[in-house]
């Protein structure tokens, strides 16, 4: 069933539980590492539509996955805004011009996704053509809050000193940044659908570092506006949308009422509990701890079965990890996971 992933997002019956894996096109695959070497660096690979298409499809040549996700990065929008993105091996993303004042935010240009991020759209169109409807293609973006953390901090952070300082001392400045990013993410995701994406996912990687009132104001409300904007535009009105807040288990009920079609879960939340709380509103995606894939094949299989049992019978489950796959995972463990989910979910 080539559309079992899309059917599961709509909570329609499927022949078995669909599975795809966050970061499934990535550093754990030797063939990916070869293409990245050919490209020169990560950003150059992202901006080369032919190579981005190639690595998007690589995991589907190895594994019986139920969806492809376009190979890209969540920081494409701030890069297009001219903040001077660099990605260093072992260091992570860095912006040469972080946002520290309201004047910095006001100067941020609007992003024309179809032109400034045309390399993403070209990669999507190529991948959709190559897939030939074998499986659906997922487009994605970072959430406004997650993008803002990198843009204000100037890179990765453990303390979120500058962005939380702005949030607490200059909330109007933070609101202005969220408004600009909400518009940009909406336009970006619409352009991805126009290029061929059949499902959308918003990665809220850092929403879980916020207190509840701040999460609602600076993370959930912008994502909710994006969902509403997408549903109101003809090009994206029927495209299923998944929201994933890492560390967001306490707020499942609020996330589920955003208008999204599915909620992604990390491994700290029981699927059974999540289903009893929100399963009548949305599909659920998740939620194996990625580190289980470092374990033996027997352990990988038994944990997959446990998670299937935790969700229980019925529709609305997309199997995934609770976050992205780690670079050091052996590809054979992924094969065991995918095959186990398909085999055992038939029952």
Query: Which of the residues are catalytic?
Result: 23, 27, 36, 73, 150
Of 280, 291, 294, the closest CA to residue 323 belongs to 291
- Could you give phi then psi for residue 293, rounded to 5 degrees? -70, -10
Residue positions counted in the chain: 347
Is-contact 138 20, C-beta < 8 A?
yes
Residues contacting 319, CB < 8 A, separation 6+: 17, 18, 19, 285, 286, 288, 304, 307, 308, 341, 345
Q: List 318's β-bridge partners, or say none.
A: 285
Is-contact 22 293, C-beta < 8 A?
no
Instruction: Rounding to the nearest 10 degrees, give the CA dihedral for residues 57, 58, 63, 64.
Output: 10
The dihedral through the CA atoms of 327, 330, 332, 338 has a sign that is negative
């Amino acid at each position: 069933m080539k559309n079992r992933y899309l059917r599961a997002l709509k909570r329609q019956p499927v022949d078995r539980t669909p599975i795809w894996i966050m970061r499934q096109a990535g550093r754990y695959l030797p063939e990916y590492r070869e293409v990245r070497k050919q490209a020169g660096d990560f950003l150059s690979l992202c901006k080369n539509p032919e190579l981005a298409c190639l690595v998007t499809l690589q995991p589907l040549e190895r594994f019986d996955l139920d969806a492809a996700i376009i190979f890209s990065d969540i920081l494409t929008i701030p890069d297009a805004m001219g903040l001077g993105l660099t990605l260093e091996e072992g260091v992570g993303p860095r912006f040469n011009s972080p946002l520290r004042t309201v004047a910095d935010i006001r100067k941020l240009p609007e992003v024309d996704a179809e032109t400034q991020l045309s390399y993403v759209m070209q990669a999507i169109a190529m991948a959709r053509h190559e897939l030939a409807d074998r499986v659906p293609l997922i487009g994605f973006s970072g959430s406004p809050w997650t993008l803002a953390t990198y843009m204000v901090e100037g890179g990765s952070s453990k303390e979120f000193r500058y962005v939380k300082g702005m949030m607490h001392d200059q909330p109007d400045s933070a609101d202005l940044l969220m408004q600009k990013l909400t518009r940009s993410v909406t336009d970006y995701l619409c352009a991805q659908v126009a290029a061929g994406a059949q499902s959308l996912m918003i990665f809220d990687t850092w929403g879980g570092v916020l207190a509840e009132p701040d999460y609602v104001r600076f993370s959930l409300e912008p994502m909710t506006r994006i969902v509403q904007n997408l549903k109101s535009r003809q090009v994206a009105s029927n495209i299923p949308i998944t929201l994933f807040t890492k560390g967001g288990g306490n707020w499942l009920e609020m996330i589920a009422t955003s208008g999204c079609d599915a909620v992604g879960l990390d491994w700290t939340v029981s699927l059974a509990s999540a289903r009893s709380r929100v399963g009548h509103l949305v599909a659920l995606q998740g939620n194996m701890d990625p580190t289980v894939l470092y374990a033996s094949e027997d352990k990988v299989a038994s944990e997959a079965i446990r998670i299937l049992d935790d969700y229980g019978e019925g529709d609305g489950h997309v199997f995934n990890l609770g976050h992205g796959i780690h670079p050091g995972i052996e590809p054979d463990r992924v094969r065991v996971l995918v095959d186990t989910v398909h085999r055992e979910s038939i029952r």
